Copies of this chain bind each other. A is one copy, B any other.
Amino acid sequence: MINKMFELSIYLETRRVEIDRALQKFFEKGSMLEKAMRYSLMAGGKRVRPILCLAAFDAVNGDPAHFDMALNTACALEMIHTYSLIHDDLPAMDNDDVRRGKPTCHKAFNDATAILAGDALLTTAFEVLASESSLDGNTLFTQLEVIRAISRAAGFQGMIEGQMIDISSEKKILTSDELKNLHALKTGALIKVSLYTGAIIGNANKDQIENLCEYGANIGLAFQLADDILNIEGDPEVMGKAVGTDSALKKSTYPSILGIDKSRALAVKLIDSALHAIDNFDNKSDPLRSIARYIISRKK
């Protein structure tokens, strides 16, 4: 088990370096706008979504010739995630001063620059997704399906709707189902589509796609549960951000509804379901298995 965790940490680190190097390549000029975009993008995120995308591609034995499309997609997913954090942190939204151990974008620059840097990261994500077309019809079709799926997951019936529900639910007590819906939209949709896109770029069959989406839906919710628990029990030093903020904002969370023990038990159950969904996959999906287990044991 110790050995397993060790391997995962090497895997995650290798992927992180690969993704960070790829992300750097999209920026050249030193404009203030680019500085702000890079500031947040390269602030040391865990790269969960891009790693899941690449791990799904590997899990279905994706053709190395299509790896660059998977890597571009991984980068786009991280840009979208980062833009959502920049906008969420704004004074008009969650009003957070610290993120990933550093001042948030609007604190390091200003509100206007943070709004524009977020807009620009979102726009660049689609530029990256549309880049380097091949002339092969099947590949083009997949590339468009990736754009369709990501825009839907990140849009007004996905991530942004989740954020909208979140800000209008502050100080309200949500039911467990309402909370599940909120998280399925706010964080689940983008996590699930990370797996979906990695799978289709890897030319997965219908069953594999379904299984990976099932895995994604389960770890997505577990990830949120773990976040909620860390917001109560985590070490702010290790996490690089404040804890206790949910409770201060009177946000409905799983621990506030179910209590912390039942929340932890639910997270374990979700991870079991995630692992079960990819039971039939071979050892190429070992990283996905380790990541699932890591989600509920992580300290940040």
Stretch at the interface among A6-14, A51-59, A139-147, A214-222: A139-147
Given A32-B164, A33-B161, decide whether A156 and B122 contact each other with a Cβ distance below 8 A. Answer: no
In angstroms, Cα B137 to Cα A115, docked, is 37
Is A187 among interface residues, defined by CB-CB distance under 8 A? no
Is A108 among interface residues, defined by CB-CB distance under 8 A? no
The residue of chain B having its C-beta at the shortest distance from the C-beta of A143 within the complex is B144
Given A135-B137, A140-B144, decide whether A156 and B120 contact each other with a Cβ distance below 8 A. Answer: yes
Is A265 among interface residues, defined by CB-CB distance under 8 A? no
Instruction: Give min CB distance, A112 to chain B, whole Å.
Output: 5
In angstroms, Cα B112 to Cα A93, docked, is 5
Output the residue of A32, A111, A122, A127 with the most chain B CB within 10 A.
Answer: A127
Given A144-B133, A151-B127, decide whether A156 and B115 contact each other with a Cβ distance below 8 A. Answer: no
Chain multiplicity (copies): 2
Instruction: Give min CB distance, A246 to chain B, whole Å.
Output: 17
Given A116-B164, A140-B137, decide whether A123 and B34 contact each other with a Cβ distance below 8 A. Answer: no
Is A168 among interface residues, defined by CB-CB distance under 8 A? yes
Q: Which residues of B contact A29 (CB under 8 A)?
A: 157
Q: Which residues of B contact A247 (CB under 8 A)?
A: none
The residue of chain B having its C-beta at the shortest distance from the C-beta of A160 within the complex is B120
The answer to whether B119 and A34 touch across the interface, beta carbons within 8 angstroms, is no
Ordered nearest first, which 9 A-B pairs have the shortest CB separation?
Answer: A92-B111, A127-B151, A140-B140, A137-B137, A130-B147, A120-B156, A123-B155, A130-B148, A33-B164
Chain A contacts to B: CB under 8 angstroms: 29, 31-34, 37, 83, 87, 90, 92-93, 110-113, 115-116, 118-120, 122-124, 126-127, 129-131, 133, 135-137, 140-141, 143-145, 147-148, 151-152, 154-157, 160-161, 163-164, 167-168
